[in-house]
Amino acid sequence: MALDAETRDQLIDTVRRFVTERLRPLEAKVSEDDAIPADVIEEMKELGLFGLSIPTEYGGLGLDMEEEVLVCIELGRTSPAFRSSFGTNVGIGSQGLVMFGTPEQKAKYLPGVASGEIVTSFALTEPEAGSDSANVQTRAVRDGDHYVLNGTKRYITNANRADLFTVMARTDPSKPGGGGVSAFLVERNLPGLSVGKPEKKMGQQGAHICDVMFDNVRVPAENRLGGEGEGFKVAMQVLDRGRLHISGICVGVAERLIADCVAYASERKQFGQALAQFQLVQGMIADSKTEALAARALTLESARKRDAGQNVTMEAAASKYFASEMVGRVADRAVQIFGGAGYIAEYGIERFYRDVRIFRIYEGTSQIQQVIISRETLKRGG
């Protein structure tokens, strides 16, 4: 259920002030330490950020898609690592449970997810199943009232902090592709489940990804999410929402970078005048602003369609494709406008340049989005 306008505006204003006053001053420290301070995590919990998309009956804020995107735009105005700390609880780590969970599963887990007491993670990617997400090799074999899981998941966000994993595993090896894949809610403390050390990454220091290994992990059959063989459907519907979430973050980061470029170009002088007076610099600012406005409009329109109950598989893919490519171009122009200052760490522009690169990869690469967009367009007849 959508918030009333006044409540929505208050929430957005609160998040904006939290980003400006609390998070932005910590950006360099988080990057250097590769960690978000524990007290900041607690403040995020108190603000309800871990439960943005969790229904109110389970203690969340119950935002619809448009409201979530608007909040994401505000969260995008600081280092993406902050958002990543609770992003799996809001998106891919919880939405399978929200959409497909039984009443018992929801009652058991969602209140803890909403409060941040339970950190969730989404385990789909494998060494041989990245863009080819239907090629899941992790096995789940029925054994009485349990399934026994064996396999390895790779690049799993928040795995080192997660208490609950949504795991895609193959239950029917005779069915190729996604038809033989099922989804499971797997608790961190089950014997045989282990998590590797965080990977060293190009950007987004403070947000961690790890391998997750399953060695004869016995998962109660009651923890299967949806029907047997429905795992790929669960994953794809979760990713539709996740792609709109990421699109909102991309828009926010772009708007932050544009504001930084305008401030710097207005103050920095060359040849006796501010950089902002040079038409070639103005052209870069104009291109960035136009693309950011287009991404915002596309993402919000797609979110409203989803809230209206429409199938937005194509629109979500188009939003994520355009917004993630857009923010990469904006970040590149920002480095150019800042010049040498954009290449050194002091101004933070080079950090954002590295941070935004992953947006074109996770939640489905740009090339996968192109495949989805073309497939859905052909299916719809134009």
Question: Annotated catalytic sites, by residue?
Answer: 363
**Helices and strands counted in the chain (H then E):** 13, 10
Exposure of 206 in the CB half-sphere (CA atoms within 13 A): 28
CA-closest candidate to residue 24, choices 354, 358, 351, 362? 351
| Dihedral of alpha carbons 227, 232, 233, 236, sign | positive
- In sign, the C-alpha dihedral spanning 277, 283, 284, 290 is positive
Residue 338 tokens, joined: 């800042």
Where are the strands (E) in the chain, listed by range?
Answer: 120-123, 139-143, 146-157, 164-170, 181-187, 193-195, 209-220, 224-225, 269-270, 273-274
Residue 155 to residues 70, 81, 210, 214, 288, Cα–Cα distance (Å): 28, 15, 5, 15, 31
44: its two tokens: 């995020």
Q: CA–CA separation, 30 vs 55, rounded Å?
A: 31
Q: Residue 316 and residue 311: Cα distance in Å, rounded?
A: 9
